[in-house]
């Protein structure tokens, strides 16, 4: 595959899954190959053009020059790692690989919960379920507590897919749920998140609510 091949990315400045991909593209030196197409999903209207490429109708979806569609964000990061010669986003094998993927699953799972929560909050009040919101809140709290216990491990391992997912999830908490005061009693995690936020790749792709 030619190094010059360009890719099209169904993109939004609001999507945390897109943010993961853009941070990864920046870290791996692949960002200049990506042409972003602003794609608006969310709410309850299907995006039929996007669904031609990805029937799940979700962001991000990456389109290669030959028309091949790649999704979800995890798979796009796998693809990026096959396209650059720098440090891997995903360790290639062993315990390091499984640990990085589990960290990714935790950060991404937090995002899945936060997106459900956001959708719930967008419903008419009489169709919201307080019991679901309480459950989701308890899972986010438990995840933050687990991450506080893993903060030194995050510091001690090379930056990669797990850090990207976890940092993006905490950033999305700040972006959409400022009322969740996750920093209280989690000073090691706060210190790690500060190092995450200081990375050029992270600063260059801050979430923007332009709706």
Supply 206's token pair: 């801050």
What does the binding site for a second copy look like in residue numbers (CB under 8 A)? 44-46, 51, 55-58, 69-72, 74-75, 78-79, 82, 93-94, 97-98, 101-102, 104-106, 109-110, 112-113, 116, 119, 123, 126-129, 131-132, 134-135, 138-139, 142-143, 145-146
Inter-CA distances, 45 with 49, 55, 57, 183, Å: 12, 13, 10, 36
3-state secondary structure of 170: helix
Nearer to a second copy among residue 163 and residue 202 (C-beta): 163
Torsion of CA 149, 104, 36, 204, to 10 degrees: 20
CA-CA-CA-CA torsion sign (90, 96, 97, 98): negative
How many Cα atoms sit within 13 Å of 83 on the Cβ side?
25
Nearer to a second copy among residue 102 and residue 203 (C-beta): 102
Smallest separation (angstroms) from a second copy to the CB of 147: 8
Smallest separation (angstroms) from a second copy to the CB of 54: 8
Nearer to a second copy among residue 141 and residue 200 (C-beta): 141
Nearer to a second copy among residue 1 and residue 198 (C-beta): 1
């Amino acid at each position: 595959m030619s190094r010059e091949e360009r890719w099209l990315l169904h993109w939004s400045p609001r999507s945390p899954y897109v943010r993961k991909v853009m941070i990864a593209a920046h870290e791996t030196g692949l960002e200049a190959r990506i042409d972003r197409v602003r794609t608006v999903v969310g709410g309850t209207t299907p995006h039929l053009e996007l669904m031609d490429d990805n029937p799940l109708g979700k962001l991000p979806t990456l389109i290669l020059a030959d028309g091949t569609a790649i999704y979800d964000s995890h798979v796009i990061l796998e693809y990026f790692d096959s396209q650059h010669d720098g440090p891997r986003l995903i360790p290639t094998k062993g315990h390091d690989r499984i640990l990085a993927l589990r960290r990714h699953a935790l950060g991404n799972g937090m995002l899945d919960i936060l997106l459900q929560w956001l959708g719930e909050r967008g419903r008419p009040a009489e169709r919201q379920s307080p019991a679901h919101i309480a459950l989701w809140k308890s899972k986010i709290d438990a995840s933050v507590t687990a991450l506080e216990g893993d903060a030194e491990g995050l510091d001690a391992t090379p930056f990669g897919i797990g850090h990207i997912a976890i940092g993006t999830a905490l950033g999305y908490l700040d972006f959409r749920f400022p009322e969740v005061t996750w920093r209280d009693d989690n000073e090691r995690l706060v210190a790690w998140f500060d190092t995450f936020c200081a990375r050029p790749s992270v600063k260059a792709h801050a979430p923007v609510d332009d709706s």
